[in-house]
Structure 1
Amino acid sequence: MILWIVLLMSHCCFSLNRAAAESTTLERIKKCATRCSQGLQCKPKANGLFPRPCQKPAEVLNASSVFHNISFSTVMSCQGRQKCSLHLRIKTLLQLSESIHGVSICTATIGMMNSCRTFVFAKASRQKMAGLQVEVENDCTDISPNQQVQVTVKTVPNYCDVTWTGTYDAPGCFSGDLRRHVPECITGRLSYDADTERREMIVNVSDMLEDSNYYVRLCRKDFICIGTEAIKLINKEEPVKSAVLPYSRPLPCLCIEGWSAVADAPRVQVCPFKDRLEELWSGVTFDPLEQTLSWEPACPVTAVVTLCHKGEDGVCVALPHASRNVSRDKMTFAKVDPHPQLCIKFTVGSQSWTSCPFAQLSFKAWELVVSGKQGHEAVKMLAHTDATFSVGQCVNSAESGSCHIAETHSLHVERNKAVALNLTLCKACLQVKRVDVNYAVPVTHCFDQCNQSVPNEKLSTIPHLFDLTWLIVAAAACISGVIIVTLVLHIVLTVHQRRRQKRRGNKKGPTANTVASALQTQTHLHEGILIPDSPQCGNAEKAVLISK
């Protein structure tokens, strides 16, 4: 708790210091100079190649008695709007005595050689002002943004143990004054407009470094910003400084990065989707052979990932020993039962999101099947892989809504082989949980009446395979019946027609037989279709009688 308070206070102080630095304008100077107290004449003196060893003073002198106050500040010298440089101003307040002839100020930075400046006082002025506090100020030391400078102040001559040492941190490029005027800090300003339909980012650049081209790109921010697409060049001659950057997903670590086309140019980053944490919870994968559930964050994020059981009330209850702390590494849960009610809960700070990767799958690893007629139902367990289950018979409490297990049975089910549950299910519930895996959810099925199942979860009355088989058999039977009835009707009609023709033949003689033969020929030409009697037949019989 104390550590959190300290970190919070440090963050607040840093934010306040940064805000103050952004609103501070540094003092401008035309050129650097050395200034001493009024009446004290001082002038610079060249330093020798090798420093002289220290010597003992004639009087009692020490650092605390000689140096009373030494202060630092940063000033700016400009040759143009974007051509400014930084200088360190050092003010030294010391107690002057006759044995002190001047001061030496040395500065050192990492990777640079020491730089010393020596100032000596005129003899007449130092004798006149002996015993007084005098001030020496110099602002000719060049420094860079964010640079740490070590300052050492000595007396002239160099008396032993009369030395003051301190450090100074130059302001960083987060200062608005530096970002606008110091070339090392000028990054340009980025603004953007996201087109979510086209998945494009229109980037506009302003306040870029004069007489220099500019680069922009999309990158994923981690320890460094790793580029995801090609770099776009914005030419300095273009009147409109803009570029279009396509993107695939609005990830919170997806940023726009821009920098001037010069060596060691500072870079600026803007992250348009930094609050879209929900984009990170996709990408959950499941290996059915290894039964492993894994997730790898697309962006670095400090989150707690927990497997949980989502009930009908929508509340996801965490499974025991099923939490992982993740940041950027891949997270894996071994031996997981892929049930639709098994979900993953992602927690970041006080926010949480729930994802159920198996909820939309039509294929279930196992299910409870109820088959048979009303009053003679059979409850069976069917699994698509070898599995072991714990089946508990319990009574559903209306007050608490929980299922109190009274008896538990162990059941092993082989792949695609249904196993019947020889249990009396009369106004009771079954709580089924797979026990041959590390992570599984308990699923409850309730039966309200004896010999009649009303499960909470949708159950199959018979397996899907049997549904399809019975449908095909029924359709085949209907088609066969239609064919048989059609054939019987055809045979009956044919026999009836022939009997009529035979009776007519007996009455009319040979001529009638000739007509009957013609009718039979016509019937054959029409491919077995019987043609009914027509008036023409009567006319033909009449013509035969007249000829006789």
Structure 2
Amino acid sequence: MEGYPLSVLQESPTPIFISTLSNLTTDWTLSPESLTLSTVSLHEGPSCKPCIRINISVNATGLPKLRGFVVQGLQLSNNAFHSFKILKKKIYKIRHLWEVKYDCLTVDRGQYISVTLFTEPNYGFSVNKRYFISNHDAKPDFHYQHIAEEKRFEIFVPKGPDVDVRLCNQAYVCKDLETNGSKKMINASQNDSPNASLSYDSLLPCLCIEAFYTYRDSKRGKKCPFQEHPEPYIEELLKVSVQEIIHHSNTMTVKYSSPCLLPTLEPAVTVCRKQNGICITENKAIVQKHGKEYYIKNADRDHHLCFKFSLLNRTYIKCPDRNDQLWGLDMKTQLSYVLFIISSKIPATFSAAVCNQSQQTGDCDLKSIIYNVSTENHLGSRDLQLSLPRPGIGDCIKLWRSDVPFSHQYLFCSFDFSHRHLGLLALSTTLVIITVISIVYIICKRIWKIFTASLWRRTILLVYSPDSAEYKALICAFADFLHNILGCEVILDLWDINTVSQIGMLPWFYQKRDLVSQRKGKVMILWTRQSKTMYDQWKNHQNNIIGWKDSTNLFGAAMSCLEKDLQVQQEHENLEHYTMVYFEGLCEKKDIPKCFRKMSRYRLLKDLYRLVSHLQDTTCLSPPCLIKAGAKYLMKKLISSEKRRGLQYHIEVCKKKLDEVGS
């Protein structure tokens, strides 16, 4: 291998070394191995930038005119461009293998650089390589999204070098969770949207996310979601931070360990007593703190007495184990007294008294003297007996541990009064009362069905002009009145909008009209001043003005159908199925066209009685029918008063709207 001097055209002079091997006889090619890149540091110090060492190894057999190479470098982050040539001097000949080492191309840390190698002269071949210059002082920038219901985090990093991400539990150091899916590598150099999904089994207060580059000694970025934004997870964080309750010498203690949230978030701790599904705060109980422990003195070991932790408007209640009790009791009912047998594992005093329970507050006020029993009077035995007189009917017995101020009070309100056949008599009386109540209930139910059954039923198809939203509300109220009060079967497009949208308004109207005809019902047209205007426009065939081609135009469809009946003047029976109704204040008789005056017309609410008689169209004079009708009339009178007032309200709203438009 021999060295030859070169001339270099570049941004700054650097040393070049070239050697040849005369015995290499391979075919010429510019392979990817022709260009290699590496990082070197020619100087020391914090301000020293790294540089790229470029090694070129090209077999030039068959290319005697090869004079050198062109090197181009592009820093991808800031688009800094470098370009220079490496040429041999004319007096030297290089026959076979070119080997060049170029020191060095200065670049910035923490970014990619793209280096391209060309031949001089250019034979149309090139080699391109991308190289990352690591920055040991940099750490990955990332953000996350927490999917709480799936117990996982979505981690997103910017495009760049590959990044390792993991979930860890922060103590003195951040320890791996050692669960599947808690650590992954993100291929950030290849993917356009680098991300990874990390999962956890249970929520931890000190759970953190760490991200670091895959090269050695990379600095780590860390974020702890539950410390940065703890509000949505307070209840779960309190649950995993509060440990079991411990009792010792009448002291109830609970440990709270959440080093990641303290001292910035300190919970408020109180004592509460569970009663009827809720926990009522004991205002007299003073909770003291020692280190990470909260405790209360002079408290009985009972699962009804609990600690309540409050933090950021969220609460968590921790109660003792139900089976971890220091005393229990058994009750026996005798002829004239009630006997309690108390088994206690500790020295204690117990009290009991007859009381009367309030239905409003649930408290039981004492009615008798207080009976006491203590383990001090029963040396060598933990089984105590406490007897009280049998309470009267409706009274209870209250029993509690009285040597400590915080103890659960047991209430016993059910006792056996079966002595001397009182129980059998009470049972027989109860059965008789239940039987009588059942018979009365069945009779009343049958009478109610008779009174509430419809006297008649008429099918009615309502037709109206779409004046305004207030008028549609009036139409719905009137339809509800016909259906619920008069017992009619009402057909209204607003109640059957899905079918109307599927088949169209005109087919829907013809279908319902045929149904009304089959059932001998009525087509009821509700007329207003706007109806007269729309009818005149329809009659003059001004279709584009009012949009009769609209599939939801019920008024236009009804007029198209009614026109055929009006053309046959001699067949008056065609109009027997039609009834005209108008509301007082919204229409006058002069607003009704002459061709419609052969129909039955009613002004509401003045002609409401005549309208009901017209719709009923039946006669029933038999005594059962009259009794039924009278009872039904009285009951419907009570109901219809409210419905009629509601109908009157909608009429007033429409009149007000009409006055506003007119003004």
Shorter-chain TM range is: 0.3 to 0.5
Q: Using CA pairs under 8 Å that are at least 6 residues apart, name the structure with larger relative contact order, 1 or 2.
A: 1
**Bigger helix fraction:** 2
- TM-score (norm: length of structure 1): 0.40
TM-score between the two structures when normalised by the length of structure 2 = 0.34
